[in-house]
Amino acid sequence: MSKQFDSMMEGLTELLEYSKGDKSKGRSRVVEVKGLSITPLKHYTNEELKKIRLSNNLTLKTFAECFGVSQKTVESWERGGNKPSGASIRLFQMLEKNGNVLEEYDILTVAPRT
């Protein structure tokens, strides 16, 4: 058999023995993130969401496409009918802090009018 297969089988055998209580068969480590403060999710009002969209000169359709949601979803957010998910809220935070974030990550291209 191949070296990769033998290595995988050895690892699986050790894992099985570890799960049965033989702690000598496992390795563990503690990972700690230092100096990183994660900003909590902000609770946006429907008015704030609309303000972010308008301050970036985005139509409902374009805004929806940038966030990977339907136009009806954005309309519902702005009416207060639904709340955006955690991932969308993070994108709102990024967009609110840096109006160019959509361009910087090639989500949106803005060309001058001719």
Are residues 19 and 55 both part of a single domain?
no
The total domain count for the chain is 2
- Residue 74 lies inside a defined structural domain of this protein: yes
Are residues 59 and 99 both part of a single domain?
yes
- State the Cα–Cα distance between residues 114 and 34, nearest whole angstrom: 49
CATH of the domain at 61: 1.10.260.40
**What does the pLDDT read at residue 38?**
72
Query: Range of 86's domain?
Result: 46-104
Per residue in 6-43, pLDDT tens?
888 888 888 888 888 887 767 777 777 666 667 788 89
- State the Cα–Cα distance between residues 47 and 61, nearest whole angstrom: 18
- State the Cα–Cα distance between residues 80 and 16, nearest whole angstrom: 51
| CB distance 100 to 114 below 8 Å | no
Torsion of CA 100, 101, 105, 106, to 10 degrees: -40
Whether the predicted pLDDT of 64 surpasses 90: yes
- H or E stretch at 88: helix 86-97
Mean pLDDT value across the chain: 86
DSSP sequence for 32-72: ---S--PPPPP---HHHHHHHHHHTT--HHHHHHHHTS-HH
